[in-house]
């Protein structure tokens, strides 16, 4: 099984949506891929509940069950970075400085997207864009993780090459 890690600030809204969309579609396609998500500043959502109501509603509208994401926000640990074959922070301007501060050795080893948080873009704008990027990533990872009949390389090498 190969793992994709989605990072955001609170692990409450964007990263949880990305995780659920990725896992829903990977499961439906029976792919050896799974996503998990973590936050770089989960204290920002303390007391807010287990998941953003915007994320919950967007997943329900897509008929994606909540079991495809974690039960509650979780803070990023070094072991999470080590477990992931691919790590994506959802907004470079927001998350690169946090990575530099918290995990400097990993700052330039992960990917950065530009998906605005709710203060800069509505869920109606941000989540469809995020969904498109996640599905594109899933397609890319699926091609890398599933060697053709004539290619017996390890899927780990294939995923690493796709980074």
Q: What is the model's pTM? A: 0.88
Per-residue pLDDT tens over the stretch 50-101: 999 999 999 999 999 999 999 999 999 999 999 999 999 999 999 999 999 9
- The band of 102, judged by pLDDT with boundaries at 50, 70 and 90, is very high
Whether residue 132 contacts residue 9, with contact meaning beta carbons closer than 8 Å, is answered with no
- Dist. CA 16–CA 7, nearest whole Å: 9
Report, as an integer, the average pLDDT of 35-46.
97
- Per-residue pLDDT tens digits for 139-152: 999 987 655 444 33
Name all contacts of 111-114 with Cβ < 8 Å and 24+ positions apart. 111/86, 111/87, 111/163, 112/88, 113/88, 113/89
Question: Does the structural domain 2-162 have CATH classification 3.40.50.2300?
Answer: yes
Beta bridge partners of 36: 5
């Amino acid at each position: 099984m190969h793992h994709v890690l989605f990072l955001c600030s609170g692990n409450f809204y964007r990263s949880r949506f990305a995780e659920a969309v990725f896992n829903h579609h990977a499961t439906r396609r029976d792919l050896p891929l799974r996503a998990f998500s973590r936050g770089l500043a989960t204290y920002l959502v303390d007391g807010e509940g287990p998941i953003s109501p915007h994320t919950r509603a967007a997943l329900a509208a897509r008929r994606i069950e909540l079991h495809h994401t974690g039960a509650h926000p979780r803070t990023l640990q070094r072991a999470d970075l080590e477990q992931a074959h691919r790590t994506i922070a959802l907004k470079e301007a927001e998350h690169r400085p946090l990575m530099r501060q918290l995990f400097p050795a990993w700052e330039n080893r992960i990917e950065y997207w530009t998906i605005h948080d709710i203060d800069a873009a509505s869920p109606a704008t941000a989540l469809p864009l995020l969904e498109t990027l996640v599905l594109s990533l899933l397609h890319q990872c699926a091609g890398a993780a599933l060697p053709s009949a004539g290619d017996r390389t390890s899927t780990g090498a294939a995923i690493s090459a796709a980074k």
